[in-house]
A and B are shown apart, each in its own frame.
Chain A
Amino acid sequence: MRPSQAQDETACAQDTIDLRRFGVIGAGIMGCGVAQAIARAGSPVELIDLDDDRLQAAQRTLRSNIRQQKFFDRSAPPVDDQLALIRMTTCYDGLAEVDFVVENVTEEWDAKAGVYARLDAVCKPECVYAANTSAISITRIGAATKRRDRVVGMHFMNPVAMKPTVEVIRGHHTSARTLDAAAAFLKSIGKAGVVVEDMPGFVSNRVLMLTINEAVFLVQDGVAAAAEVDRIFRECFGHPMGPLETADLIGIDTILKSLERLYEAYWDTKFRPAPLLRKMVDAGLHGRKSGAGFHSYAS
């Protein structure tokens, strides 16, 4: 039996999970995607980031993403109505009454740890924290909070609006009730979860990052151009996108950080990032969000 299971099951029997108010930390690609999904479901959400410049960029991203979603979801409310449900701010005070927070801070430990200290200072005790991460240990995040049983991993895929399923990660102390809350949250935004155990990279990134990194090495070594690498995956394997298109979509900087986290976690050289990846990050070629990566996205 997990440490908090017995206590947790008692709590489950006493009340039901009622999630009404939501917070999203980090207004980058993933944070915007999660906030968009909450707004599409008709719920208000606090979207928090460090400064006004990031929030203004998020406003543009959200408008573009919500408009894109209209192509595939004709019954979606008007774009402006969805945007109005997303309150963008740099202040954490509005999180005092939220039931569920999704944290989407960059894949760096110090940045994440700082956020959880601020959350603990303002969020009510029963609020659940979902860490949207592709590589950082949920157990470690839980240990950085005063509510380790109410911390769960939630690895959303990009673009959030178009991906029906989320990788849900059970930390060592994550309670069954917290997993129920995670499932309830996902259901409320029209998604399902697949629960896996907590090891760095979980299932998805432990496999995907190796594939992308090796594809980068192929380009670096002159074996094939990016277009050819992607074409082989699309046309030979029938994948919707090739690994380098996927890297551009995720963000080259995020790929590099994810590989660095995996390398640090396993001390296994199979996760060492391709030098070309670092060079591209230094050059500002961050993928789709910057207009160029392995492919060009300029309008």
Chain B
Amino acid sequence: MSQALAGSAAETTPIRAHTRQFLARHVGDTMPSDSDDLFKAGYVNSLFLMQLVTFVETRFAVTVEDDDLKIENFRSVEAICEFVAGKDWALQSAEA
């Protein structure tokens, strides 16, 4: 179900918060900073990419196109925020 928070490039706070919440469930004890490279720093491995894609598509109701399937778009919390904010996004409930 879509909530009232409609997306815009200026409103990345919910994207950041939900992305950090998602990552916290997967990265173990040490949480990366928003600019940390999740893959190079070893927080997750490349197999985690599609979990990130699925998370972004379901939680923010965006379509990740073929051309969007680049590690640059999912490399860090910052990168994910920028990528989602560049789409027409809307926050979905966790059950979506």
Q: Using A64-B50, A67-B50, A68-B50 as known contacts, say yes or no to A241 and B66 having CB atoms under 8 A apart.
A: no
Query: B46 to chain A: closest CB distance in Å?
Result: 7
Interface string of B35-79 (1 = CB under 8 A from A): 000000010011101110111001000001010011100000000
Nearest 7 interchain pairs by C-beta: A70-B69, A299-B54, A68-B50, A299-B55, A64-B50, A71-B69, A299-B51
- Which residues in window 174-219 of A have CB below 8 A to B? none
Mostly helix, strand, loop or mixed at chain B's interface? helix
In-complex Cβ contact of B46 among A67, A71, A298, A299 (8 A) = A71
Query: A228 to chain B: closest CB distance in Å?
Result: 10
Interface size class of A (residues with CB under 8 A): 20 to 34
A72 close to B46 (CB less than 8 A): yes
A67 close to B45 (CB less than 8 A): no
With a cutoff of 8 Å between Cβ atoms, the chain A residues found around residue B22 in the complex are 299
Mostly helix, strand, loop or mixed at chain A's interface? helix
B73 nearest in chain A by CB position:
A71
A65 nearest in chain B by CB position:
B50
B51 close to A297 (CB less than 8 A): yes
Q: Using A296-B25, A296-B26, A299-B54 as known contacts, say yes or no to A240 and B70 having CB atoms under 8 A apart.
A: no
Docked complex Cα distance between A68 and B22 (Å): 19
17 A-B pairs in the complex with CB atoms less than 8 angstroms apart: A64-B50, A64-B54, A67-B50, A67-B53, A67-B64, A67-B66, A67-B69, A68-B47, A68-B49, A68-B69, A72-B46, A79-B66, A159-B47, A241-B45, A296-B25, A297-B51, A298-B25
Docked complex Cα distance between A241 and B28 (Å): 15
A299 close to B69 (CB less than 8 A): no
Docked complex Cα distance between A64 and B52 (Å): 12
With a cutoff of 8 Å between Cβ atoms, the chain A residues found around residue B26 in the complex are 296
A74 nearest in chain B by CB position:
B70
